[in-house]
Amino acid sequence: MTSKYHREIKPGVHVDVYDVLRAWDVRNPALQHLIKKALQPGARGLKTLGQDMADIIASAKRAAELESDEP
């Protein structure tokens, strides 16, 4: 099944960002958010490139905080 969120990465193979996150076992929610924004910054129609870049930086900082909180 494909939707506007899926991308063809090679002929006949369609994935969405959640497939990628699962394949790389990205569990940190702030990193997940960062990756989603970094794949298409400023091109999703909601925020400008600058706004998405600021969100990416904020997500990276939060991801680091979450990792430092781990036992």
pLDDT tens-digit map of 18-69: 999 999 999 999 999 999 999 988 887 788 999 999 999 999 999 999 999 7
Q: Please state, in angstroms and rounded to a whole number, the distance separating the CA atoms of residues 42 and 48.
A: 5
The answer to whether residue 2 is domain-embedded is no
Residue 5 pLDDT: 81
Residue 15 domain boundaries: 7-68
The answer to whether residue 31 is domain-embedded is yes
Query: What's the pTM value of the predicted model, to 2 decimals?
Result: 0.80
Average pLDDT over residues 2-29: 92
Dihedral, CA of residue 42, residue 45, residue 23 and residue 15, to nearest 10 = -130
The answer to whether residue 20 is domain-embedded is yes
The domain tally of the chain equals 1
